[in-house]
Each structure stands twice: as C-alpha cells, then as structure tokens.
Amino acid sequence: MGKVRKKLRTRAVAAVSVVSALGLVVGCGGSDSGGTGGGKEDGKTTITMGLFGVMGFKETGLLDKYMKEHPDVVIKADVAGDEQTYYTALQTHLAAGSGLKDIQGIEIGRAKELSDTQKDKFVDLAGAAGTDHFLPWKQSQVTTSDKKVIGLGTDIGPMAVCYRKDLFEQAGLPTDREEVAKLWEGDWSKYVAAGKKFKADSKDDKVAFMDSSSGLFNAMIYGNSQQFYDKQGKLIYETNPVVKDAWKLASEAATSDLTAKLRQFQPGWDPGLANSTFASTVCPAWMLAHISEKAGPKNKGKWDVAKAPQGANWGGSFLGVMEKSPVKKEAQDLVAWLTAPEQQAYLFKEIGNFPSSQTALEMPEVVDAKSDYFAGAPIGQIFGAAAKEIPDEQVLGRKDGTIKDIFSQGLTLIEAQGKSPNEAWKTTDKRIEKAAG
C-alpha cells in the first residue's frame, strides 16, 4: 500500500481526527422536517450516507463507480473523522427521530447497544438477496434476540502477532514466521513463556518483549464466544473463566517486566514503534498500516507477521438502513453492493480493510496478498485463517467498548503504577460497576 493509503487507514484506526462543529452538523445532520435527506425527484434517486473514519467507500471511488453504473442514483456521503463524535450525534438523531441519513455506519462497539435499544429504527436485512456470504460470527454481532439483522458487515480485525525479526534473533529466538508461530501454537501462555526467554537472553535490556499487557488481554478474550456479557445481556466478567484467565496471564506479563508499559494508540506507543522499544505486539489486520507508517522506512523488512495462538477479532463495522428512509429499497441495494465480496476484496487491496465476507477471503486479491513492509508476509492467508478460527457466535454487550477500555486501564495500574493484580482488579471492578452496572 502507498503512503497515502496508510495514512487513510491510520486515521480510521486511531480515530483521533477532530471534526469541526460545522463538520459535525453536516456529517450527521439532515433536513429540519425529520427526513433523511434522500428521496426521488425528476427521475433521480438521492441516497444519503453517514459514515465515520475511513470506511473507504468514498475515498477509494466506490461510490463514484456505483453512480456511474446507476446513472439515476445520486449518493451524498458525509464522513465524520472521529467515531465517538459521530456516534454521539447519531444517538441524538435517533432519539429525536430526525436528522438521520438513509444509510448509517455502525462501529462494532456500538452494535449491541443499537441492536437492543434502536432495532425498530433500522431495516431488517436478514435474508436479503445476496447477503449470505458473511462470516457467521460477523452477522451475529448485529443480530437481535428476535433474529433481526440491523446491518451488513464491512471490515473486520482478525489478529496475529507482529514481531521484529532482528530483535528476536539477537535474543536467540527463531525468526522464520512459521517457526515463530510454533513457539506459541495453541496457547497464549506460550507467548508469555517466549517473552521470558527473550528477556533472559536479550542482549539489550532496554527492549521489552511486548508493547502492552492489555493487547494480550484483548487477544485472549476476543477469541471466545462470550467475554463480558452472556446471551441474556447479564454481566459475567467476574465469573467468566475466559476473562479471569486473560487477566491472570496479562498480569503475569506485566509483573514479569515483559512489557514496554505502552497502551496501544496512547501517547508513547508511536515513538515506541519508531525507536524499537519492543519486539512484538498483538496486531489486528488494520494495525499493519499504522505500524508501517509509525515505525518508518528504516524498519522496513525488520517486522514480520506470525499466526497468533488463537484466532480473535478486534474491530470492524457495518452499514445499516434506516426504517424511516423514503428510499429504503434503493439504500438496501447500495449497502448490499458495497458489502459484496468484490467490493470488500477491492477495499482490502486499496486500503487494507480486511473482508468480513467468506467469499472475499477466497479471492486472489486477498489470498495472494503479501506485505513488502512486513518481510513479504502472506497477510491475506494469515489473517484469513484467523478469521475462520473465530467461533460462529460473538456475544456482545451494550458497554463492551467501555469495559474493554476499563480493563486496559486496570492493567496499566499494574504496569505503570506498581499496583498488585489483586488491587488493580478491585479498582477495575468498581469502575465497571459504575460505568455499566
């Protein structure tokens, strides 16, 4: 991918661009009459879209292509740079029943909340023609208790381990990606064990084995069907063995001085990439563009990608159609086309958005994809295999994103402030109870 594409994806991942007050109104607003802005007039059908970050449809010219193939359709897409700002405005418009677009983007961390509280405002896309190609777990994330599907999947974030070959070599660890994967095959505790060997044998005591314990925690929990909530929407993190085991192992990494004490995408992490202060990081597919940009040309070829101990997913989004839209049929056709295998494979090739379509995962553009920056790693195959390992059902909760962040903060208490795992758990538990109880 070129430098421009890397920057586009980085903005989407980090979600740090600032939207002006005017941009927010334009990006998520609508007509004062309560309409969606879409409609039919003079033989033309206008479809409006509310998007965030760099979902890629506008940036890669896909919307222009659709309009060229459908000359009677006009698409007006407003893009908010920051997802949090976008979602706050979306909630306001949903509550008011006005200012919505015909099509609205949905980030995975918001999927459950919208499915539970706003499902009647979205068109049911279950069983729509040509929409049976998605990974089962992807669609489960936007499926309501009564089997209504409020959106169609765009990208996903299957996970692997990105590592520095040169730093592994100087610590006596293998550097070939298949041999590296065998170090921790099937068990995240083997990843920590490799870290302990790295620490003991490294010739540079200033280089940590991994960037953060929270990255390890996230990878462990998101490879399972249930994390923080059960199917009935009850909080289960306190008793769920998946969460308890992830906390225990992440805490072990933190207290064993295996981490650089850097939370991903927080201050200090980018300089850590540039200055080679850690030798590995758990990385979803979309993170590769960020790493290659921030680590810079001097580290090209030093990074590689190995299969993770277990398939897991971090990130992704959807497109939903609003029930109130006067052009629901046309909007559904557009969403189905944008999320079709061919378009998903194209977006991956252009900007690195990894497909949620099973069919797209088998296309040459994905299967044959390799990364020059990451030493020619077959990223299409590595991340595609990870996506297929994830359980068919992913149970999300209303405050999943908030709870994930609180756990990351809790692990930081151990890494950066010297709190014991028990003390940090108690603090984390209180914060979750306050935020999501």
What are φ and ψ of residue 172, in 5° steps?
80, 15
Same-domain pairing of 197 and 299: yes
CA end-to-end span of the chain? 43
Same-domain pairing of 76 and 202: no
Q: Where in the sequence is the domain holding 268, given as residue range(s)?
A: 158-314+390-436
Residue in 135, 134, 249 with CA at minimum distance from that of residue 196 = 249
Answer whether 290's CB lies under 8 Å from 296's CB: no
User: At residue 30, does pLDDT exceed 80?
Assistant: no
Answer whether 273's CB lies under 8 Å from 6's CB: no
Confirm whether 376 is domain-assigned. Answer: no
Distance of CA 334 to CAs 56, 65, 101, 121, 171, Å? 14, 11, 13, 18, 52
What is the radius of gyration, based on Cα positions, of the chain? Answer: 22
Domain count along the chain: 2
Token pair for residue 179?
Answer: 């041999």
3-class SS of residue 401: helix
| 401: number of Cβ within 10 Å | 19
Same-domain pairing of 243 and 306: yes
Stronger pLDDT, 331 or 17, i.e. the higher one: 331
Beta strands in 84-229 (DSSP E): 103-107, 152-164, 208-210
User: At residue 1, does pLDDT exceed 70?
Assistant: no
CATH number of the CATH domain containing 334: 3.40.190.10
CA distance 19 to 374: 33
Same-domain pairing of 33 and 19: yes
* Average pLDDT value over all residues in the chain: 90
Q: What pLDDT is recorded for position 130?
A: 76
Confirm whether 56 is domain-assigned. Answer: yes
Residue in 283, 294, 293 with CA at minimum distance from that of residue 377 = 283
Confirm whether 379 is domain-assigned. Answer: no
Confirm whether 373 is domain-assigned. Answer: no
Same-domain pairing of 59 and 95: yes
Confirm whether 372 is domain-assigned. Answer: no
Q: Model confidence over 381-404: pLDDT tens digits?
A: 999 999 999 998 888 888 888 999
Half-sphere exposure of 330 (CA within 13 A, CB side): 21
Same-domain pairing of 284 and 427: yes
111 alpha carbon, distance to own chain's centre: 12
In one-letter notation, the amino acid at residue 186 is: G
Confirm whether 337 is domain-assigned. Answer: yes
Confirm whether 280 is domain-assigned. Answer: yes
Confirm whether 377 is domain-assigned. Answer: no
CA distance 420 to 437: 24
User: At residue 39, does pLDDT exceed 70?
Assistant: yes
User: At residue 11, does pLDDT exceed 60?
Assistant: no
Same-domain pairing of 297 and 340: no
Same-domain pairing of 167 and 248: yes
Same-domain pairing of 141 and 163: no
Q: Model confidence over 115-166: pLDDT tens digits?
A: 999 999 999 999 877 788 999 999 999 999 899 999 999 999 999 999 999 9
CA distance 118 to 291: 36
User: At residue 2, does pLDDT exceed 70?
Assistant: no
Task: Please state the pTM of the whole predicted model.
Answer: 0.88
Q: What pLDDT is recorded for position 398?
A: 87
Q: What pLDDT is recorded for position 12?
A: 40
Same-domain pairing of 19 and 118: yes
Same-domain pairing of 37 and 7: yes
Dihedral sign, CA of 346, 351, 352, 356?
A: negative
Same-domain pairing of 57 and 177: no
Q: What angle do CA 86, 264, 24 make, to 5 degrees?
A: 15
